[in-house]
Amino acid sequence: MEASHSGQLHRFAKPEPFWVSWVRIPPLPHFYFMTKLIISDTHLSKFNQRQFNFLKDLIEPVDQVIINGDFWDSWCVSFEKFVNSKWQDLFDLLLEKNTIYIYGNHDPKHLSDERCSLFAVETCDSYQFELFGQKFHCEHGHRLTTGFTMGKFINFYDKIFRRRPKILCYLIAKSERILFSLFPKIGQHSKVGQHTNRILKENLNADYINIFGHSHNADLDFTNNFINTGSIMCKHASYVLIDDKDIRLEKTRY
C-alpha cells in the first residue's frame, strides 16, 4: 500500500478529553477504544491476488469491520462461486473481526444465503452503532436513490439492475473495470457518483452520522454529517477508519 495506517490503539497514561473530528469526546479508559474499518464496493468476483493482499493487510490491524454493501458482485459471479472461490481465504479473518455485512445492490439478500455466516456475524440492510456518545448509521445507499429523478444514465442502470439480464450485466461490469483501471478519476469522481451523493445527502437521518457507499465517490462532509466510503477496486482504494483519535477517510492505491 502506498498510503499507510498503523491500526494501533491509542493508550492514555491518564484519560483526557479529546476530539473525534468535530465531536468532543469525554475521557474514557483505554480498554474502551477500538478501531472500526468501514469499506464498501469491493465488487469481488474473479479472484485478484493484488486486491486480496490489500484487503488482508487492511483488515488485520483493526478490531471490527463493517462491509457497507457490494462486497461481491452478482453481475459477474454467483454467490455459490464466490463463497467457493479463493476469496474464502479472507472469511476466517473477517469472522475474527466480528464483521457486519450490509447488503448492497450488487449483492442483494435474495441472491445470497445462510453462508454469509462464513464471513459475517450479522447481516442486515442497515446498521447503527454508537461510539463516544455519537450515533452512526451505515447503509449502502441504493434504497434511498431508487425512484428519484437521477438522469437518463442512472435510470438506465436502474432498469438493467431490476431486469437483471445476465449477459448484459456481466458485460457492463467488465467494461466498467477496464474503464476505471485506465481512467481512475472517472470511477472515483464521476458526475454520476457526485449526483448520487447529493441525493443521499438529501435523505440523511438527522440524528446520526450517515455512512454510505454505492456512489464510488469518497466524501467526508462534516457539515452534513455525511460520509461516503468510496470503493476498493481497480487498484484504487478508499475507506473509513474510526478510532480513539478521529474519523478518517483514507485514499490510496494498491
Whole-number mean pLDDT of the chain? Answer: 82
Residue-wise pLDDT tens digits, 128-155: 999 888 999 999 999 998 655 445 555 5
> Which alpha helices (H) appear in 97-150, and where do they start and end?
142-145
Quote the strand ranges of the chain, DSSP E: 18-20, 23-25, 36-39, 64-68, 100-102, 122-124, 126-131, 134-139, 209-212, 219-221, 226-228, 232-233, 236-242, 247-253
Alpha carbons 218 and 36: distance in angstroms, whole number: 17
Q: Is 210 helix (H, G, I), strand (E, B) or coil?
A: strand
User: Tell me, what's the pLDDT at 119?
Assistant: 98
User: Tell me, what's the pLDDT at 2?
Assistant: 45
**Residue ranges, the chain, pLDDT below 70:** 1-33, 146-174, 181-182, 184-188
Alpha carbons 159 and 117: distance in angstroms, whole number: 31
Tallying the residues shown for the chain, one arrives at 254
User: Tell me, what's the pLDDT at 82?
Assistant: 98
Q: Which CATH architecture has domain 32-253?
A: 4-Layer Sandwich (3.60)
User: Tell me, what's the pLDDT at 152?
Assistant: 53
Tell me the domain boundaries of the chain. 32-253
User: Tell me, what's the pLDDT at 17?
Assistant: 43
